[in-house]
Amino acid sequence: MIALAASVPKRNRLRLWVLAAGAASTAMLVGAVAVAPPMDKLERASPVVVDRNGVWLRALPVDDGRWRLRADLTRTDPSFVRRLVVLEDTRFWAHPGVDPVSILRAAASDLTAGHIRSGASTITMQVARRLDPHRRTLAAKLLEAARALELEQTLGKTGVLSAYLTLAPYGGNLEGVRAASLAYFGHEPSNLTLGEQALLLALPRAPEALRPDRHPTAAMIARARVLQRMAAAGLISQVEAREAAGEPLPRRHAFPVRAWAASGEIARAAEGSEQTVSATLDARLQARLEGLAAQTAAGQGASSASIMVVETKNRAVRAAVSSAGSGQPGSWIDFTKALRSPGSSLKPFLYAFAFEQGVASPETRLADAPVAFADYEPENFDRSFHGEVTAREALANSLNIPAVTLLSRVGPSAFEARIDGAGAKLARPKSGLTDPSLALALGGEGITLRDLAMLYAALGDGGVAKPLAWTEAAARETPSGSGRRLVAAASAAEVLGILRESPPPFDRLPPALAANAPRIAFKTGTSYGFRDALAAGVGDGWTVVVWTGRADGGARPGLTGRNAALPLLFQVFDVLEGDASPPAALAPQTAPRALARIDPIAAGPQILFPPDGATVLADGFGPNARGLALSAQGEAIRWYVDGAPLAAGVGGGLPIWRPVGPGFYALTAVDDRGRRARSWVRVKGG
């Protein structure tokens, strides 16, 4: 029958429509099984990566650069789907893939007109044709009908609709309603205007001839016809049709790309996946940190920058800034994966291992003096020596000689093995070395920012190392008790306690002086020749690692981890703190009372904290409370609270005031010449 139909001249084929309808009906009645259509085209869809909140990050094209995005009915405007069914296949929900009623109606219409006016293709038959295109013959039509029956049994109604909206052509290299909506309208098809719906319904009929970016007049006419069909079908009013016809035609947009390197890597790993992949990345946070990286790199000359932000508890990567962006050299390089020298940023793990093994304790005294280990003679970064220091002081001040001394006791091979056992990889320089050396303590082996973030997250999680999670599924699947033990929890806590006491960047107040400031345990690193500047920190549930340097590995004299990377680390923590806080309340745009004006510096002391008129929060009251650190500018300052003298700070440090309770207090600072400054403050309970 099929071969005979194919050989019949076109003018006589109309007479076979009734026979075709009968054949289709017979096939349905006897349950004829068709040759299954090839499904590989439907299975090869562009992998799509969205952030943790469903915000689009990136997709990758498939066959010959075509964008074929798998449709998701839950993310597609339901009114668009309803109108599609009414206009394309009114009896879609009633027929089994082939509609005998439509075939008979089309046959009668064609016989009356004397030429083919309607092919009676259902949505399911159109899917069959797009899966395996054939020349439009009656034989091909019958094959489509048979395959439509098969598809309905295999995919079901919603599966057929999803397949249609995945495969429908929309001009150029666009396939599927998601690709078309993103390319033409710049957004997902979850909420479409009436004009957008009409254009999407018109395009598949002649995708190249109706492209709005190339044939706007034809596209506008076709859209208007679809709107009139909607009105005739009672789907919309004539007023709505006229208004929608006046919508401006869209231009084609480039597909959005956020977190270029990380989202591309996740997308490539998801190729062949049946659904959109939800990454752990936060698009809003990523965008803000990309701006910070670009700003930092621009201020450091021909440099780049990279940032890793990890949620310590579940190891979810919330931001991964690969480079400083297109305005800086090496913008295509993913520096989170590049091997760089860590400088001194591995020292905390050396001290943690030494504390755990009983080689040293935080108060163990070590010599910071010239020493030679065989043919290796380390020296401090500032080329000075500090005599006898405690391990606490040596780590807080990143002294090199005490660190090498401890590594000689722990053993370079043992240190490397423990880092490797936690899942991080150290790479030795290409010098033919078979064993690690004592230079390992000072950054003598390379590591990636990803591995460094994983190690610091372990410090913040009781010494347990776990792989970083790049998808929400992986973050959920990580059991709380899983992972590899890097170091004992007590040793990790001791090291974090030391790192929290490290001096902050020069433009930052110590945490004790800043209300609600995060207590960040951090360490910096500077590689040999000033090639790499790193800073890593753990605090408030976050692990952050930042790097700045040249893409070509060149030297940057004078740029260290402390002055080139640490300020960026604190800026990242500021952003994290800002994201977690509620929006600021509306208020008149006036300066705070203490900053109302700036007068010339007067002679005598000046109170820096707390300023006059301030309200401060105290964690507790009485002699056992943590207290508030007072700060003033001047020489030999003595403090008085409500006229009573306050004891000086221990060891010459900042004086600590422990209020007896909430209320108003008068603080007075008096210098060695008897000059005084007063601050009237209110204290509230925390």
Which residues neighbour 10 within 8 Å (Cβ) at sequence distance 6 or greater?
A: none
More confident position, 126 or 118:
126
Among candidate residues 25, 79, 88, 109, the one labeled active-site is 88
Q: Which residue has the tokens 């046959």?
A: 107
pLDDT in tens, 173-211: 999 999 999 999 988 899 999 999 999 999 999 999 999
Q: Count helices and strands (H / E) in the chain.
A: 22, 23
Backbone φ, ψ for residue 609 (5° rounding): -150, 130
More confident position, 223 or 675:
223
pLDDT in tens, 20-72: 544 444 444 334 444 677 787 888 888 889 999 988 899 989 878 899 988 98
Residue 499 has pLDDT above 50, yes or no: yes
Q: What is the pLDDT of residue 139?
A: 77
Q: What gap in Å lies between CA 449 and CA 463, rounded to an integer?
A: 18
Q: Which of 106-110, 278-282, 622-626, 679-683 has the lowest mean pLDDT?
A: 106-110
Among candidate residues 102, 181, 304, 344, the one labeled active-site is 344
Q: Which of 78-82, 211-215, 540-544, 583-587 has the lowest mean pLDDT?
A: 583-587
Average pLDDT score, the chain: 83
Equal CATH topology for 304-580 and 593-685:
no
pLDDT in tens, 373-411: 655 666 666 566 778 889 999 999 888 888 888 888 898
3-class secondary structure per residue, 260-312: HHHHHHHHHHCCCCCCCEEECCCHHHHHHHHHHHHHHHHCCCCCEEEEEEEEC
What 8-state DSSP symbol labels residue 248?
A: P
Task: Select 304-580's CATH number: 3.40.1550.10, 3.40.50.2020, 3.40.50.10190, 3.40.710.10.
Answer: 3.40.710.10
Q: What is the pLDDT of residue 219?
A: 96
Q: Which of 123-137, 288-302, 575-589, 605-619 has the lowest mean pLDDT?
A: 575-589
Instruction: Return the percentage of the chain with pLDDT > 70, whole number.
Output: 82
- Quick one: tokens of 126? 């159109």
More confident position, 443 or 309:
309
What 8-state DSSP symbol labels residue 172?
A: T
Q: Which of 85-99, 375-389, 484-498 has the lowest mean pLDDT?
A: 375-389
Could you tell me if 258 and 56 are in contact, meaning their C-beta atoms sit under 8 angstroms apart? Answer: yes
Q: What is the pLDDT of residue 79?
A: 96
Q: What is the pLDDT of residue 539?
A: 94
pLDDT in tens, 528-537: 888 999 999 9
Residue 334 has pLDDT above 70, yes or no: yes
Q: Band of the pLDDT at 2, cuts 50, 70, 90?
A: very low
Q: Band of the pLDDT at 225, cuts 50, 70, 90?
A: very high
Q: What is the pLDDT of residue 673?
A: 80
Residue 107 has pLDDT above 70, yes or no: no
Q: What is the pLDDT of residue 106?
A: 56
Residue 345 is a catalytic residue: no
More confident position, 105 or 458:
458
Which residues neighbour 408 within 8 Å (Cβ) at sequence distance 6 or greater?
A: 373, 438
Q: What is the pTM of this model?
A: 0.72
Q: What gap in Å lies between CA 376 and CA 371, rounded to an integer?
A: 9
What 8-state DSSP symbol labels residue 427?
A: B
- Closest residue by Cα to residue 273 from 418, 120, 125, 70: 70
More confident position, 301 or 117:
301
Q: What is the pLDDT of residue 100?
A: 78
Could you tell me if 100 and 20 are in contact, meaning their C-beta atoms sit under 8 angstroms apart? Answer: no
Domain residue extents for the chain: 1-38+93-156, 304-580, 593-685
Level-2 CATH architecture, domain 593-685: Sandwich (2.60)
Q: What is the pLDDT of residue 327?
A: 72
- Closest residue by Cα to residue 524 from 546, 496, 549, 498: 546
- Quick one: tokens of 141? 């039509």
What residues are paired with 536 via a beta bridge?
A: 523, 545
Q: What is the pLDDT of residue 421?
A: 92
* Backbone angle region of 34, left / alpha / beta, with phi > 0 → left and psi within -120 to 50 → alpha: beta
**How far is CA 190 from each of CA 66, 74, 81, 194, 623, rounded to the nearest angstrom?**
22, 8, 11, 13, 61
Residue 447, classified by CB atoms within 10 Å of its CB into exposed (0-12), middle (13-18) or buried (19+), is buried
Residue 363 is a catalytic residue: no
Which residues neighbour 477 within 8 Å (Cβ) at sequence distance 6 or greater?
A: none
